[in-house]
A and B are shown apart, each in its own frame.
Chain A
Amino acid sequence: MADLGTQGAAVQIRFRDDDLVDHAVVSMEDFAEQSNANAVRIEPGEDARALIPHLDQIALVEVNFPVFGDGRGYSAARILREAGFAGELRAVGDVLVDQLAIMRRCGFDAFAPDTPLDAADVETALATWPYDYQAAADDAVPIWNLRHG
């Protein structure tokens, strides 16, 4: 069974204090057969909900973005957070600075971009938005809740 995962070193940005998972990251297909894996990768088109019965044994879910324009990974991430997943949710692949803020809102807390991002650009991108209109997977209070206390 191949280790699909990014090595720890490729994780460029991380918003967690726990240790990096150093186990092999397996595909969804292998995960279904390999009941002791604790790190799994979701490709676009795969159903994140298939992981829900196993969330207490999973420490890391990688969501692959083969091209930045394929937005299925945003739904996968939110679905996992909505199901109570508290482990590491890592965006890998064609992850660009301009998507970081919305990825954070969908629940990603680690990023392993194919092309490393400029640190200053990352800081600017994450500081762009003063408020958020709607609820998502982060703990932001939507504007309409701010308005009505």
Chain B
Amino acid sequence: MYQYDKYDQAMVDARVAEFREQAQRRLDGKLTEDQFKPLRLMNGLYLQLHAYMLRVAVPYGTLSSAQMHALADIATKYDRGYGHFTTRQNIQYNWIKLEDAADILADLAKVEMHAIQTSGNCIRNISSDHFAGASADELVDPRPYAELLRQWSSFHPEFMYLPRKFKIAVISSDTDRAAMRLHDIGINIVKNDAGEIGAAFYVGGGMGRTPMIAPLIREFVPLDQLVTYSEACLRVYNRYGRRDNKYKARIKILVHELGAEEYARQVEEEFAHLLDQGIEPPLAELERIKPYFADPAFEAGLPTQADESDPDFITWAHNNTNPHKAPGYTSAVISLKPVGGIPGDATAEQMHLMAQLAKEYSFDECRVMHTQNIVLPHVKIADLPALWRKLADAGLAAPNLDTIEDIIACPGLDYCSLANARSIPVSQQISERFAARGRTHELGQLKLKISGCINACGHHHAGHIGILGVDKKGTENYQLLLGGSEAEDVSLAKITGPGFDEPGIVDAVETVTDLYIAERQDGERFLDTYRRIGMAPFKEALYG
């Protein structure tokens, strides 16, 4: 894991001191809420429906057990005993008092964490593959590159007031687990024909009210030009991105309006200019960062099979693990989607337990997934039964990774002031319905995502099944979408037709899954069947 040196620590400490002073000015009435707002937003502090919400950055989703313990302590000390893991691999606390905010940031700084740039129109926390450094299918660990870009983007003086927020994801695999092409910049670390490592840049993806899949802007950026090329991409956006309309201000609109080719040409021009400016970090910095992400001391000669005497264990182990590059190891997913629960929520006790299990079974490391679950990346296969038993005792062993119960849902009308409709109760009802009828595993991989409004924080466009909350004459209404994917087979979901009320949307999900079961051919996922037979039969079943 990356560790701060005196420079990183000094920057975070400076930020805490600055914010403490700003918050004090606000509490003393020397700053109005209008004046304070941009300052608190730079520190991840939002004003929600009922209280302040604090969003804490988890760079590339990686946490040590000490950090996870600290997050649990914050939940106990300053919130109501729980936290919420988000679709950008961060954690947020929903019941924060302004008086406490600076103390929380100070507590975070003690474990090398912060809330810098988790809101505002700047470059946000950089996300990555949650199986980075573990997965059998990756080329290299993408996190050193993400860390380099974290440093570059932190307090970047030119890019603190962009037209709109800016999200970057870095992966290094043909399998996309980070929704890479639905980011403002998606980077895939690749190898070229000459066998050199470099970065493929996809620019202009995003969700929100105008979802777009990022086009490839440059096939290969050499590693000693990575920061300079990123800077060129951002500068073209900062200068020419639209500022007349908040809903057209994301880079996807610029790239779309210019065309990918013209945007790429302008970036090349800026890039050529910036190469002369000498802004690239020394390559030695990347070499300094890399050892922090080196493989832990994997043991050789481990058994590759666990004791499979318990059928419940078998179900969990088959669903919630991912093949590891080291023989005898696996990555185990802790589902934060108990049937009828709130997707992504964890209590302080659960966080402490996950931290302890990370220490005991996974080289002191865990990860936040963008699907709002937690990964223990490096678990001995032989340890799985013991791990599973401890998780099951704590209600953390739901065997539902990537199933219809593994729902992504935004906070919705229960917390969010922009919401049209509640997301959480709909997700609870769906998981309860399918679990009660024993249908979950029969349906196989089925990614269902719910947003409470068009801003799409719940990624509904990218769901095999998506649900979007809309406001229909003052009552909550839900549109159904089918056919989205955030993975390497990326696609945007389409609306089926007229919306449904709350009980109606749960029925509608059941209707489309029934049709899938009736129509599917060997080995097809819901998404595959939909792609083969198209929207019409689903419409017929829904509205017929």
Q: Which residues of A come within 8 Å of B, CB atoms?
A: 44, 68-72, 74-75, 78, 82, 96, 98-99, 101-103, 105-106, 124, 128-136, 142-148
Contacts and interface: CB of A to CB of B under 8 A. Distances in A.
B contacts with A: majority SS? helix
Contact of A75 (B11, B35, B158): B158
Interface in B1-48: 5, 7-8, 10-11, 14, 17-18, 21-22, 35, 38-39
A106 B158 contact: yes
A144 B162 contact: no
Contacts of B152: 133-134
Given A133-B155, A134-B156, A75 B238 contact: yes
Interface residues of B, number: 40
Interface stretch (B190-198, B276-284, B489-497, B536-544): B276-284
B14 A128 contact: yes
Contact of B11 (A106, A133, A146): A133
B76 interface: no
B50 interface: no
Q: From A99, A124, A130, A134, name the one whose CB has the most chain B CB atoms within 10 angstroms.
A: A134
7 contacts: A71-B162, A99-B161, A102-B155, A103-B157, A130-B11, A145-B281, A146-B7
Q: From A70, A74, A96, name the one whose CB has the most chain B CB atoms within 10 angstroms.
A: A74
Interface string B279-315: 1011011001000000000000000000000000000
A129 B14 contact: yes
B273 interface: yes
A145 B282 CA distance: 7
B239 interface: yes
Contacts of B11: 129-131, 133, 143
B223 interface: no
Given A102-B155, A134-B279, A69 B121 contact: yes
A148 B7 contact: no
A43 to B, nearest CB: 12
A50 to B, nearest CB: 13
A45 B21 CA distance: 34
A74 B285 contact: no
B159 interface: yes
Q: From B7, B151, B227, name the one whose CB has the most chain A CB atoms within 10 angstroms.
A: B7
B472 interface: no
A147 B161 contact: no
B5 A147 contact: yes
A74 B155 contact: no
Given A70-B161, A130-B10, A135 B151 contact: no
A98 B39 contact: yes
A136 B238 contact: no
